[in-house]
């Protein structure tokens, strides 16, 4: 069975890939397991009945407490390693997603990936400006309709995203690693299923034989216009400035 992790920066399709792979046979893909909401994900794991229940509660308590109180330097390596050992103990192809901000907070998660040779699927966006617009629009919580973007903020976000991508590439350079673009995942020719080119690349990387089309979750369908000019009131100004 394959053990993998989906890595990337926010708004690169990580949730889409998590939800979609969960539609595939023999897959269990958890969401963000390194956040204060870890309890929501940890409960998806089918723990052994009695003995491991106490261990589960202890691991869950320590990680959630440290995350909520932002005492990242107090997180114990052994606890983190045991937690991920449990995650990958399922008799299925198992993965979860690890975003750039969480990599900074729990470096032991990266150390585990390297030591255990966990396969990494790195999602990225070729069009960083679109990613920056998506991040800015998410903050104002207005998915529908056009909005006026803060150009200086977009510039800073694009620069930051480029730095984060380079950091990820460097950090995972010697891991078993593949890159996959958001644009490939959201190919318009494939509205209700994972594009064949993406599915083939992922399954070949994970050494899994699977020929059936994997349906996309309704939840993952694009919820905003794909063209920037349909999203931005100040489109011309943004294009001229960035």
Distance CA 131, CA 108 (A): 28
pLDDT: which is higher, 194 or 174: 174
In a domain, 94, yes or no: yes
Residue owning tokens 């318009």: 188
pLDDT, greater one: 51 or 28:
28
In a domain, 142, yes or no: no
Position 193 scores a pLDDT of 66
What distance in Å separates the CA atoms of residue 120 and residue 133, rounded to the nearest whole number? 26
Q: Name the residue range of residue 117's domain.
A: 4-126+174-222
Residue 141 within any structural domain of the chain: no
H/E stretch holding 233: none
Task: List pLDDT tens digits, range 8-38.
Answer: 999 999 988 998 898 888 888 888 777 655 4
Question: What would the pLDDT profile of 102-112 be if each residue is shown by its tens digit?
Answer: 888 777 889 99
Flag whether 241 is in a domain. no
pLDDT at 46: 44
Tell me if 112 is assigned to some domain.
Answer: yes
Full-model pTM: 0.83
The answer to whether residue 230 is domain-embedded is no
- The band of 205, judged by pLDDT with boundaries at 50, 70 and 90, is very high
pLDDT value of position 79: 73
Number of domains within the chain: 1
Closest CA to 123 of 16, 49, 2, 213: 16
Contact 11, 134 (CB under 8 A): yes
Residue 69, pLDDT score: 58
**Does residue 242 lie within any of the structural domains?**
no
**And the tokens for 171?**
């950090």
- Both tokens of 32, joined, read 């963000």
Establish if 204 belongs to a structural domain. Answer: yes
């Amino acid at each position: 069975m394959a053990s993998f992790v989906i890595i990337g920066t926010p708004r690169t399709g990580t949730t889409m890939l998590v939800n979609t792979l969960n539609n595939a046979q023999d897959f269990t893909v958890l969401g963000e397991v390194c956040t204060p909401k870890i309890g929501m994900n940890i409960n998806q794991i089918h723990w052994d009945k009695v003995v491991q229940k106490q261990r589960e509660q202890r691991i869950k308590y320590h990680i959630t407490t440290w995350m909520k109180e932002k005492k990242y330097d107090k997180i114990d390596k052994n606890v983190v390693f045991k937690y991920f050992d449990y995650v990958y103990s399922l008799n299925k192809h198992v993965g979860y997603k690890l975003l750039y901000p969480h990599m900074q907070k729990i470096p032991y998660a990266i150390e585990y990936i390297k030591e255990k040779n966990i396969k990494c699927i790195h999602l990225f966006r070729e069009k960083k400006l679109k990613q920056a617009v998506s991040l800015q629009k998410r903050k104002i919580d207005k998915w529908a309709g056009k909005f006026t973007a803060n150009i200086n903020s977009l510039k800073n976000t694009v620069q930051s995203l480029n730095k984060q991508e380079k950091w990820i590439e460097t950090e995972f350079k010697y891991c078993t690693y593949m890159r996959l673009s958001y644009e490939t995942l959201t190919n318009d020719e494939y509205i209700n299923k994972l594009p064949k080119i993406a599915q083939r690349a992922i399954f070949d990387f994970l050494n899994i034989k699977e020929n059936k089309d994997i349906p996309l979750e309704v939840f993952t369908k694009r919820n905003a216009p794909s063209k920037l000019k349909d999203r931005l009131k100040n489109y011309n100004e943004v294009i001229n400035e960035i």
